[in-house]
Amino acid sequence: MGLLEDRVVLVNGGSQGVGAGIVRAAVREGASVVFTGRRAEVGEQLAADTGAHFVRADLSDPAQARDSVVHATDVYGRVDCLVNAAGLTSRGSLLDTTPELFDQHMAINLRAPFFAMQAAVADMTARKAPGTIVNIISNCAHGGPPHLAAYSAAKAGLAGLTRNAAHAHRWDRIRINGLNIGWTDTEGEDATQRAFHGAGDDWREKAAAAQPMGKLGQVDEIADFVVLLLSDRSGVVTGSVIDWDQIVFGGQD
């Protein structure tokens, strides 16, 4: 049996990148999966490839973030596991971030997970059923580079929310954890490197060579770790925000 056999898993931001990897891994491990995304063509193709159920949603709208849970319960009757994987990484420093960009980061990176969790936990507690939630955060929650000021603030907020919600609902047997992922090789990161940093076709090779492990974070490895946290194999772990990266925070040379 798979690690998520007979579980209903909702992956918000699941049409590409890390989210899509989690969709594939959850399906492989026996789950019934619903996932959201903004791009219908991409989402429908992933649904066709995996058998997962796609819902087009703009998670910057808190109503649509909440309704993602409603859609999942309409299809499968409940939500056992939630993954918040949607993320906005548009660049902006303290000095050049506009109020509009700041609000976009808060809407996608913090507000959407908040209201999706609200709806999922409401479903779980109404059924008096245990559940698991994993938030995809970022090592930027520790501070981040200057060009990701609003992003870092939002992800730090999500780390705090993860711990707060885990503490609040530990007696409901709802386990809530987060991953502070580092630099990861995704199609979105490729677009970001080209758009914001003038990267060429060899940027992956150059970036990998500069990392301690000789590679960037890999989507399938992150997805397998998320599946473990969603499953019973992660035991009683809750309220943990795990640094999934090759940077050792606090270490010094």
The two beta strands, 32-37 and 8-12, are parallel
Q: Which of 35, 54, 76, 151 is catalytic?
A: 151
Distance of CA 244 to the CA centre of its chain: 13
Q: How many CA atoms lie within 13 A of 145 on its CB side?
A: 8
76 included as an active-site residue: no
Task: Cite the active site residues.
Answer: 151
